[in-house]
Structure formats: C-alpha cells, structure tokens
Amino acid sequence: MPTFNIQLFEGRTPEEKRKFVEAITRTTCETLGCAPGSVDIILTDVKRENWATAGKLWSDE
C-alpha cells in the first residue's frame, strides 16, 4: 500500500523518529483504512549543507 519517502535534517533521536513514524502510520491507517503492516516509511537524514531553500544552504543560516 502506501510508501512514504521522508527527508529530514539529521540530528533527530531514535525516539523522535519512532514517535513520528507511529503518528504517520496511525493517521494513514485512519485515513485510508489500511492495516499498519501495509505502511512503509523510509526516513533519510540529510545534512544541512546538502539542503537549500531560496538559493541558500541551510548550513549558512
């Protein structure tokens, strides 16, 4: 069923990530009526130096 690819700045703890994926899974199941086992979530940690918005690297902030 659904697969989420989520990119976020590195530095979050495993517990923060655990709570995040639990919330995404719960909301997805409530919204789409699917079983938790059908929800895949791929988290990718990105360094601030590898992410830019409006032409500026986040590491420069």
Catalytic sites, residue numbers:
2
Q: Which residues is 6 bridged to in the sheet?
A: 43
Rounded to an integer, what distance in angstroms lies between the CA atom of residue 45 and that of residue 31?
27
Q: List Cβ neighbours of 51 (8 Å cut-off, separation of 6 or more).
A: 7, 9, 57, 58
